[in-house]
Amino acid sequence: MKRIVVLGATGTIGRMSLNVLKRLKMFEVVGMSANKNFETLLKTKKDFPSALTALTGIKNEEVNFYGKDSIEKLLESTQPDQVIVGIAGFAGLKYALSAARYSKRLCLANKESIVAGGKFFIESVKKSECEIIPVDSEHNAVFQLLDGEKSRVDSIILTASGGAVRNVPLRGLRDVSPQMVLKHPIWNMGARITVDSATMFNKGLEIMEARFLFDFPIEKIKAVLHPQGKIHAMIELEDGTFKMHASKADMRIPISYALNYPKRIKLFDDFTPFGNVTFEKPDFKRYPALKLSYEALKDGDGARVVYNAADEVAVDAFLKKQIRFTDIYEIVLKVLQKKWPKTLKNYEDIEEVDKKSRILAEEMVNTCC
């Protein structure tokens, strides 16, 4: 049996991962972590009684490890074959780097690791002789489309639903509420990613992720609106042929694929890709964050870190009703307009830029409205 550790076990990806692992008898969950939600963590452990537990955010004697070094101790104690990195946000970078040193495969659901870490992260994981299998539905789909492809790939195309307020008139976006934005029409996701789906900051982050994960030119990575959520990604081949990946909009499918690759395990019987399927170019007036992602990619390492960090701060402020929906983009733009380093060579440099940009974003939140 392969030994699995689930980081971020109480979050959306973590819960779905454990749901999949309960069905797959060829895996043993040997460890799981959470930030502060120890009650859910301990409740979850009942399904995996041999798993060791870790808490990063608070002290609690009921878990095996707690504190800032708890995940390192968890990984060292369990020596897993694979680690599911379901921790949200910039914090995932540090723990993904640790996981790569102890395991042979990262089932990576934390896009911020690649967005902020860039070349440094990819090279660090390779040095550890660990492979990355993306869990994000779009990148998991691209990974499958590229696997074994012998023709030259001309472009990678990521699909986007457009979010919950995609049909709200532009003039009305300023006043949409968090409750409206969180009602995603297709996916069941965490709060930040659901808001980012509506602004398409999430798609901007995914474009950045694809740049480094697949070592692909910026100008050859595109995004299209696909409201039905049946097609998760496409690749365009040199002769003009398009290959598309279709599946049910359920994150348990890419999670299962990442765990079992190169094998596949059937989990669902009730999906059909037929019916209405449409694609259209995204409107940069409605989704200026998407255009901004290409500019940040060209501006270097610091800009990518800032794009993610400032968005995290702004989305949190929006969810707390401290700023308006359209202020999210304005705050990220203003923070990006500061001078940031082109090259970041190690984790400490990346973390420093992340901290500084968050402070600036928080100051702008406080003076925004």
Alpha helices in 128-229 (DSSP H): 137-146, 178-181, 191-199, 201-213
Average pLDDT over residues 16-24: 94
- pLDDT > 70? residue 144: yes
Selection from 96, 90, 51, 50 nearest residue 71 by Cα: 96
pLDDT grade for 369, boundaries at 50, 70 and 90: low
Question: 231 φ, ψ to 5°?
Answer: -100, 125
Please work out, in degrees rounded to the nearest 5, the angle formed at the alpha carbon of residue 12 by the alpha carbons of 50 and 16.
Answer: 55
| Rounded CA separation 29/239 (Å) | 45
- Answer whether residue 33 is part of any domain: yes
pLDDT in tens, 66-118: 999 999 999 999 999 999 999 989 999 999 999 999 999 999 999 999 999 99
- Answer whether residue 10 is part of any domain: yes
- Answer whether residue 9 is part of any domain: yes
| Rounded CA separation 328/38 (Å) | 31
CATH of the domain at 52: 3.40.50.720
How many other CB atoms are found less than 10 A from the CB of residue 216?
Answer: 18
pLDDT grade for 35, boundaries at 50, 70 and 90: very high
- Which domain does 35 fall in, by range? 2-134
163 in Cβ contact with 226 (< 8 Å): no
- pLDDT > 90? residue 274: no
- Answer whether residue 273 is part of any domain: no
- Calculate what percentage of the chain has a pLDDT beyond 90: 90
- Burial label for 53, CB within 10 Å (0-12, 13-18, 19+), is buried
| Rounded CA separation 24/89 (Å) | 28
- Answer whether residue 232 is part of any domain: no
- Within 127-275, strands assigned E span 131-134, 153-160, 221-225, 231-237, 242-246
pTM: predicted TM-score of the whole model, two decimal places? 0.94
- Answer whether residue 76 is part of any domain: yes
- Answer whether residue 336 is part of any domain: no
- Answer whether residue 345 is part of any domain: no
pLDDT grade for 189, boundaries at 50, 70 and 90: confident
Average pLDDT over residues 199-227: 97
Average pLDDT over residues 205-231: 96
**How many domains would you assign to the chain?**
1
103 in Cβ contact with 73 (< 8 Å): no
| Rounded CA separation 173/286 (Å) | 9
CB contact set of 231 (below 8 Å; sequence gap of 6+):
159, 244, 245, 246, 273, 277, 279
pLDDT of residue 268: 74
pLDDT in tens, 285-341: 999 999 999 999 999 999 999 999 999 999 999 999 999 999 999 999 999 999 999
- pLDDT > 90? residue 343: yes
- Burial label for 249, CB within 10 Å (0-12, 13-18, 19+), is middle
- pLDDT > 80? residue 188: no
- pLDDT > 90? residue 18: yes
Average pLDDT over residues 123-137: 97
| Rounded CA separation 104/285 (Å) | 43
pLDDT in tens, 229-255: 899 999 999 999 999 999 888 899 999
pLDDT of residue 233: 98
Query: For all residues of the chain together, what is the average pLDDT?
Result: 95
How many residues can be counted in the chain? 369
pLDDT of residue 248: 86
Radius of gyration of the chain (CA): 20
pLDDT grade for 267, boundaries at 50, 70 and 90: confident
Q: Token digits for 193?
A: 């990613």
pLDDT of residue 184: 84
- pLDDT > 80? residue 272: no
CB contact set of 167 (below 8 Å; sequence gap of 6+):
none
Which residues are paired to 32 by β-bridges?
A: 6, 53
